[in-house]
Structure 1
Amino acid sequence: MKTAYQANEGILPPELNDEIAAFCSGESLCHLALANKEFQAHAEKLLYARVAVRTYHEWEIGAFETLATNATKAGYVKFLSLEFYREKRPTDSAIVEKLLTAGPALTNLRDFRIRLRKDLRNHVGDLDGMLSAGHFHLNTLFADNYFDFNMILEGQNDLTVIGIFQVSNGDAPSSLLKSVEGRSLLTVGLTRETYLPVYNNIDMVPELLSLEQAQKFDVILGQAFEDDAMLAVSTNAESVSCAFVYLQNVPSKEIFEAFIAAASRIFVSLCELTMRLGCIGDTLEEWRKAPVSWPKTISKLGIWDWSSGDLRSSKLKFTGSPDEFAKSIHKLL
């Protein structure tokens, strides 16, 4: 004899079942998955679409066991975030191994975020290989600065947003200038200089942006920040007070103006801006002819003569307010 649940299977069209599942909260989806096989499939697609694991929540760790052993559920994942607790745990390496095992089945993964501790860096090579193997096509990647982003980019043609955690010496984003050609990429380096769990410094490379990305920089990056599932260190645009901008060549006037305007909209607390200019003479000449509308919140502007990959050769040319810069720009040429 069929149960009431079994008798109801297949009565509603799949599209309607999808709509029903979409209205359910996470807890309700868990209950819905127990109703029957059809609702289970609809519920699990939503339950596994977003997987965020913090290793200090032991009950969340089992998600990687599921992904490693169930290719169907792994195929549902679109957003995956993995954050390791600051203290070592016996299961940490096993979690990375399960992630690597699940990698080939994560075919719909579009947004991946991972923060490793230094003692787990021995797994980076394997993770670089997984990320560049072409199992999935990412739009967004947030990872530690010791990942091989150039290698990853070779296997990720759809990648448009890269966030690099704890940039050292401010050179991680700019290093991409050497190898990224013909790619439009929104790249930010995230650094914190306080004990608070917030990244308050940001490094940006507007030279890699397309005009559309520059115009929508605040929207694209804002969405990436809103989607962040990590807790130990957060990426909050309103907390950014210092920014470093790297330009290897003379920037496109249209793209740079759009970028600065969008940066003003998203970084509302930005008070200090440092510009590292590769072609400083030509860039300053362009800015003399057509002055830049700097964010109104900026109280300190720094201009450096800079060479990508050689921070020791950088020389400070100006520091002061944007108004003081406009008055003295002719002296810097």
Structure 2
Amino acid sequence: MLYFWKRSKMKKNEPTGKIGGTHSESHEKDLDLPLFGLYTISKATNNFSIDNKLGEGGFGPVYKGMLEEGQDIAVKRLSKTSMQGLDEFKNEVICIAKLQHRNLVRLLGCCIQGEEIMLIYEYMPNKSLDLFLFDQTKSKLLDWEKRFQIVNGIARGIMYLHQDSRLRIIHRDLKASNILLDTDMNPKISDFGIARSFRGNETEDKTNRVVGTYGYMSPEYAVHGRYSIKSDVFSFGVLLLEIVSGKRNSGFSKGNQHLDLLGHAWTLYKDGKSLELDDAYICDSANLSEVQRLIHVGLLCVQKRPDDRPCMTTVVALLSNEGKLPKANQPGFFTEGDAFVDEGTTSRNEASSTNEITITQLEAR
């Protein structure tokens, strides 16, 4: 339990301070994070005006705000009925309080007063990638150069989490709605509420409580509850293929094939027709050799066996290298109607498409 959970009684205009604490599961110590007073955040969001509301997820509503010095912020306000959100709040602080990377959204601080619990982030003016990628009008703004830039930025962010951060962090919910875009359309990975961290040489774990989003989860995680850095690699591969094609993996259909996006991409790859996967909106701006290479890298990332998938360090190198790529094996894809979505599934992000379903609990077998 974090030390600052006892810091609930503060004066109305209490200035920003520091908080620290420990967590038995991650053995983290001395977590320092700026603390904002409720009055400051309430004023910044115009008393949490509906006009300032950006969306709502499993944690609770998210508001845009502006601090007195003119800095734009995004405020995640924990719903009073969300126990899941309370766990995610603690996990998010533990995982990213000290992480610094240009492709990770920055946590500026938190506000804890009475029953109010909030996280304060840097504000991303272009919101999330899915709002552009899967919208027929907005997707036209994503030319090939921007998409290539977004893919590389996401890859570097994940590589940092897996390899270069103070802990090895597995995100477990990489998807288009969790990629935020700044003013220049640079991608920033967000939402670490269900992330897990490892120390030393640890690289994988198993859980009986599977959490994540249908369409992005690796088969070994969805079926057996086993997650590792290769689970994130699988999710990145799905995301990469979505960025190239402009189509969602979940809910995808093509004629009478009854395949998801991964199955369709695999079929085209085997037939030497990978370029048919690309989004019609990028035809004029695309570098065809780069398009083909990215599709190939995406298929390498979604291979069925975790050991066959490259690590993110290799992925970053493959994205920028013009050398020969290894042959891709069959992906671990699911056709529509698989048994991984049941009556117990719920959406974690109401602001995103209803096609995006998150599994909140599934007993491993």
Larger helix fraction of residues: 1
Which one scores higher on RCO, CA 8 angstroms, separation ≥ 6? 2
* Shorter-chain TM-score above 0.5: no
* TM-score normalised by L of structure 2: 0.27
* TM-score normalised by L of structure 1: 0.28
